[in-house]
Amino acid sequence: MPALVLLGAQWGDEGKGKATDLLGGSVDYVVRYQGGNNAGHTVVVGDQKYALHLLPSGILSPGCTPVIGNGVVVDPSVLFSELNGLNDRGVDTSKLLISGNAHIITPYNVTVDKVTERFLGKRKIGTTGRGIGPTYADKINRVGIRIQDLYDESILTQKVEAALDGKNQLLTKVFNRRAIEVGQVVEELLSYADRLKPYVADTVLVLNQALEQDKVVLFEGGQGTLLDIDHGTYPFVTSSNPTAGGACTGAGVGPTKISRVIGILKAYTTRVGSGPFPTELFDEDGDALRRIGGERGVTTGRDRRCGWFDAVIARYATRVNGLTDFFLTKLDVLTGWEQIPVCVAYEIDGERVEELPYSQTDFHHAKPVYEYLPGWSEDITKAKSFSDLPKNAQDYVKALEEMSGAPISAIGVGPGRDETIEINSFL
């Protein structure tokens, strides 16, 4: 049962697209299990660069069936424009499967996301403004709209009414906005029904049958461990579970089916949006990491906050996800520093702490305790095996592996498809 989960071990943007790409042709199904078009993968195929937000990266491999699982929230207009963009470039998207149980990001969810953030002012989360949180809130409040609802106009109308009832009160009386009309929303949603229809499937059944037939299924997490609604830096998180358990609930496969959980780990750390970030740099080093690493969001175009590698976070990711492997990305970005600081523990109110504190207050007070590892200046982008790396780069990787608690099975040494060192095969 080769079922692999591939997820971000930090705050997202670790370079998951590259890892999926490495598995490329050998995967039969690539499944998104949570999040929506707040994600952003860049996948480079040949000389073509594709930025995907909602679609699983498997959409680019001809032999692979891409699946949007029940745990994902889908904005149909974004889905269609992503499909159109790929079709225009000659990519066949006809194999895509979408769970009928996936929830729809409605126009009012997007409105509520933006209005709420504005209202929060200084305390804003820094969301992507795509309606993700409000859509998951509707799901949990049991007033969400699912893809399958598009095929029963009467039920759809009742559900939109129920969803808008309270929201319109809030929009008009608290946020001073115009009320949203039920009829208009229903009309827009119904306009998506026909085009979506061929993709809608019982994805839980499809995936479990595939696993019984020994097909290779890859579950692709969006965002990252520290943005998880349960295990991340709440409330500065996304509204779903990018951690490994999310693959089970968000795709309908049992935990006994998962054979490998791979954490994508950047050789330094980045974060977008608000929230604590102990190793964040506000100096020239931070600027250099941003510039050399191209640290700008694929989805929002926002500059990413940058800092040194944080081993406390990596250890935490190993634990909450049960990681079996790491894929270390962007090692080449660190080329040129004489010495590279690595955060090995925190100091919180004068005490050394080795593990991620569970209290938000403590985490906000955490100061990094650094160890300084010797850097390298040689170009490493042509390295094909671990032994091709300069000794100091090898030692940096070994030190990270030891601190992080799982083997580093692959290393990214450049943006290109072949600029990867494979140490242990993932399959």
Which residues of the shown chain bind ligand IMP in the complex (CB under 6 A)? 11-13, 38-40, 125-128, 130, 132-133, 222-223, 227, 236, 238-239, 272-273
- Residue closer to ligand IMP by CB (options 5, 383) is 5
Q: Quick one: CA dihedral 347, 376, 23, 214, positive or negative?
A: negative
DSSP three-state, residue 92: coil
Minimum separation from the CB atom of position 299 to ligand IMP (A): 6
DSSP three-state, residue 363: helix
84 labelled binding-site residue: no
The residue from 21, 28, 103, 139 that is catalytic is 139
Minimum separation from the CB atom of position 41 to ligand IMP (A): 8
**Does 362 qualify as catalytic in the annotation?**
no
- Residue closer to ligand IMP by CB (options 65, 321) is 321
Beta-strand pair 408-412/325-329:
parallel
- Contact at 8 Å (CB) between 51 and 82? no
User: Which residue do the tokens 């194999």 mark?
Assistant: 95
- Contact at 8 Å (CB) between 312 and 329? no
- Contact at 8 Å (CB) between 269 and 244? no
Minimum separation from the CB atom of position 362 to ligand IMP (A): 20
113 labelled binding-site residue: no
**Does 13 qualify as catalytic in the annotation?**
yes
417 labelled binding-site residue: no
42 labelled binding-site residue: yes
**Does 228 qualify as catalytic in the annotation?**
no
Q: Rounded to whole angstroms, how far apart are CA atoms 146 and 130?
A: 17
The residue from 13, 28, 149, 325 that is catalytic is 13
304 labelled binding-site residue: yes
Q: Rounded to whole angstroms, how far apart are CA atoms 85 and 83?
A: 5
- Residue closer to ligand IMP by CB (options 54, 323) is 54
13 labelled binding-site residue: yes
- Residue closer to ligand IMP by CB (options 114, 260) is 114
For the sheet containing 200-201, what is the strand order?
200-201, 97-99, 65-68, 29-32, 217-220, 3-8, 260-266, 325-329, 408-412, 420-422
Which residue has the closest beta carbon to ligand IMP? Answer: 273
67 labelled binding-site residue: no
Q: Bridge partners of 296?
A: 303
Minimum separation from the CB atom of position 301 to ligand IMP (A): 12
Identify which of 102, 96, 86 has the alpha carbon closest to the alpha carbon of residue 35.
Answer: 102
Phi, psi of 72 (to 5 degrees): -90, 150
Minimum separation from the CB atom of position 332 to ligand IMP (A): 21
Minimum separation from the CB atom of position 258 to ligand IMP (A): 22
Q: Rounded to whole angstroms, how far apart are CA atoms 16 and 22?
A: 10
Q: Rounded to whole angstroms, how far apart are CA atoms 73 and 67?
A: 13
280 labelled binding-site residue: no
Rg (CA), the chain: 22
Identify which of 205, 204, 240, 207 has the alpha carbon closest to the alpha carbon of residue 225.
Answer: 240
The residue from 21, 28, 41, 310 that is catalytic is 41
- Residue closer to ligand IMP by CB (options 2, 250) is 250
- Residue closer to ligand IMP by CB (options 226, 344) is 226
- Residue closer to ligand IMP by CB (options 295, 401) is 295
93 labelled binding-site residue: no
Beta-strand pair 29-32/65-68:
parallel
Minimum separation from the CB atom of position 8 to ligand IMP (A): 8
Q: Rounded to whole angstroms, how far apart are CA atoms 83 and 203?
A: 19
- Contact at 8 Å (CB) between 250 and 34? yes
Q: Rounded to whole angstroms, how far apart are CA atoms 398 and 387?
A: 12
**3-state DSSP percent of the chain in helix, strand and coil, to 5:** 40, 20, 40
Binding residues: 12-18, 38-42, 128, 142, 223, 238, 298-304, 330-332, 412-414
Binding residues for Mg(2+): 13, 40
Catalytic residues: 13, 41, 139
Binding residues for GTP: 12-18, 40-42, 304, 330-332, 412-414
Binding residues for IMP: 13-16, 38-41, 128, 142, 223, 238, 302
Binding residues for substrate: 298-304
